Amino acid sequence: MTRFFKHTIAALALAALTLPGPVAAQDAAPQTASPNEILKATHGDWEIVCSTAQEGLCVMRQFGKNAEGEILIDVRIRKLEGATSQDGKSFPAAIQITTPLGTILGFGVTVKVDAGESRTGAFEVCIRGGCIIRDPMSEEFLADLKAGKTANMTFSQLQLGTVSVSISLKGFTKAFKAL
């Protein structure tokens, strides 16, 4: 097994084990934690929620909503320790993006910070609460999020077509430091 593969697997496994579960779009209550989580702090438009099952297990979270206030996307970020690629680039964090059921999986989710480069993540699995992407984040992507104002996330839904949701990056850096 190559070193890159081992570290990528380790990063994804850590992300899968440490990020709280997704929130179903129709059941989510913005600005509140689920029964498995405690709201620890708010930094700008980002919340820090911690698991009630594992002490010290926290993520930063934001819900992306449509014009009617319905949650269409749940974005969570968790710090990683020691995850690197084969060429030595570190993965300081992992991102989890959950979209509603009915998402067309083949298109993934495209994330664009302000007018920067687009990045696309592939879906890992769909469960009752939605369809999930979990990916390690590069130092460059993390820096873009810290410096940006808005992250636009685009995915495709069966009945809605292309869906675009903006996530505010106000408070992102403070929330990440607080993790």
Report whether 11 contacts 92 (CB < 8 A).
no
What does DSSP assign to residue 148? -
Mean pLDDT (the chain, rounded): 83
Which pLDDT score, from 0 to 100, does residue 23 have?
41
**Which amino acid is residue 100, in one-letter code?**
P
Model confidence at 85, in pLDDT bands (50, 70, 90)?
Answer: confident
Phi, psi of 10, rounded to the nearest 5 degrees:
-60, -45
Which pLDDT score, from 0 to 100, does residue 24 have?
40
Residue 102: pLDDT above 70?
yes
> Residue 43: exposed, middle, or buried by beta-carbon count in 10 A (0-12, 13-18, 19+)?
middle
Model confidence at 56, in pLDDT bands (50, 70, 90)?
Answer: confident
Closest among 78, 75, 66 to 97, alpha carbons compared: 75
Closest among 118, 153, 151, 154 to 45, alpha carbons compared: 151
Task: Give the Cα separation of 69 and 31 in Å (integer).
Answer: 12
pLDDT tens, position by position, 15-53: 443 444 444 434 333 334 577 899 999 999 999 999 988
Residue 80: pLDDT above 60?
yes
Which pLDDT score, from 0 to 100, does residue 111 have?
97
Higher pLDDT, 177 or 7: 177
Which pLDDT score, from 0 to 100, does residue 66 have?
87
147's enclosing H/E stretch is: helix 139-147
pLDDT tens, position by position, 122-170: 999 999 889 999 999 999 999 999 999 999 999 999 988 999 999 999 9
CATH 2.60.40.1880 fits 3-178, yes or no: yes
Phi, psi of 102, rounded to the nearest 5 degrees:
95, 0
Torsional sign, CA 110, 64, 24, 160? negative
Report whether 155 contacts 108 (CB < 8 A).
yes
79's enclosing H/E stretch is: strand 71-79
> Residue 68: exposed, middle, or buried by beta-carbon count in 10 A (0-12, 13-18, 19+)?
exposed
